[in-house]
Amino acid sequence: MFFLVLKKTAYFVIDHFRALLFLNAIMILSLVIAVFFPVLLIFIPLQIRFWDIPVLFFAGAAVGLAQFSVVSGAVAFLVRGLTEHKQPSLNGFFTGLKKTWKMNFAAAGLFWLAVIFILALFQFMGLLFGVLGILAASILFWLFLSILLCYQFFPSFQLRHSGKFFSLLRSLFYFHMDNTLFSLFTLGTNLLIAAASPLLLCTGIGGATMLAFTDIGLGMRLAKYDYLETHPKDAGKPVPWDKLLSEEQKQMDSRAIEEILPWLSGVGKTRNSSRGKKD
């Protein structure tokens, strides 16, 4: 399944290259604001300091995270639209913003409070020594990682969930706990995309690609729950992924790998021509 998600994402980038350039530009602008806004606030003089860091930096970071989360939600809305052959536009962006901003704003606020809480606990745990201190630090690390693994799915998950905020969080937490390996795979791949995006930005690789990859993988993974809903007797048995994703696999198999790696077509032509000469 993991390879199928990667393959479908690659074809998605090819099919929607120009649209992704536009969406990546929006994500870059939002990220620049999120990073530099709190940094600029550091230079305001006569500030109260917390952990030897100006308080306004924390406030600016919270604002930056909130706007980045809201923008990510709107871009995720446009990415979902691309799968329905809807081209992104500024009007579409503002429509997505209107539909998703409350949930994403609340999620960013909750995530930031969790980060501050964990940092405060780390300061306290620093007073502990020996095995107890190591145990406490490891618990906090896994707690933060679990929150991050859940948060990465939020923009895409909320587009598929019709419930209220805390109902959404509960469903998201259950999904993560039931699909921990998939959550780690998604986070690891997104980190690789983020690391490669500065070099491959002109190819459509960027923040919008990360949202597309997450949404594609989430859609495939959620097929399991649709299956279990119609086949309750199969609960606890291995999930028949080959059967559930057979249509996805057929669509991907019908396309040539040369679309992703175009230089392979040149290699194939060279081999065929050399065989023709020998014959």
CA angle 58, 110, 44 (to 5 degrees): 10
265 inside domain: no
pLDDT for 132: 72
172 inside domain: yes
Name which of 208, 214, 158 is nearest 187 in CA terms: 214
234 inside domain: yes
Name which of 206, 168, 213, 161 is nearest 187 in CA terms: 213
Is 130 or 234 the better-scoring residue by pLDDT? 234
Give the list of residues 6+ apart from residue 150 with CB closer than 8 angstroms, or none. 169, 172, 173, 176, 183
CA distance 248 to 242: 10
Number of domains in the chain: 1
pLDDT for 271: 46
Is the pLDDT score of 33 beyond 70? yes
119 inside domain: yes
Give the list of residues 6+ apart from residue 102 with CB closer than 8 angstroms, or none. none
Q: Are 116 and 81 in contact (CB under 8 A)?
A: no
Domain span at residue 67 reads: 2-244
pLDDT for 101: 92
Each residue's pLDDT tens digit, 45-79: 766 666 667 778 888 889 999 999 999 999 999 99
Name which of 4, 25, 32, 3 is nearest 209 in CA terms: 25
100 inside domain: yes
Largest CA distance in the chain: 83
Is the pLDDT score of 121 beyond 90? no
Q: Residues for the chain: how many in total?
A: 279
Give the list of residues 6+ apart from residue 258 with CB closer than 8 angstroms, or none. 264, 265, 268
Calculate the alpha carbon distances from 44 to 40, 41, 49, 51, 90 in Å.
8, 6, 12, 17, 35
Query: What's the first-to-final CA gap in the chain, in angstroms?
Result: 41
DSSP per-residue string spanning 219-249: HHHHHHHHHHHH-GGGTTSPP-HHHHTHHHH
pLDDT for 154: 93
pLDDT for 267: 44
Is the pLDDT score of 106 beyond 90? yes
Per-residue pLDDT averaged across 144-148, rounded? Answer: 91
263 inside domain: no
**Ramachandran class of 108: left when φ > 0, alpha when ψ lies in -120 to 50, beta otherwise:** alpha
55 inside domain: yes
pLDDT for 55: 78
Name which of 88, 208, 226, 92 is nearest 155 in CA terms: 208
Question: In whole numbers, what is the pLDDT of the chain averaged over residues?
Answer: 83
Model-level pTM greater than 0.85?
A: no
184 inside domain: yes
3-state secondary structure of 203: helix
Calculate the alpha carbon distances from 80 to 14, 75, 156, 257 in Å.
16, 9, 8, 24
Lowest mean pLDDT among 126-130, 164-168, 250-254: 126-130
DSSP per-residue string spanning 178-194: HTHHHHHHHHHHHHHHH
Is the pLDDT score of 261 beyond 90? no
CA dihedral 59, 65, 68, 69 (to 10 degrees): -130
pLDDT for 256: 64
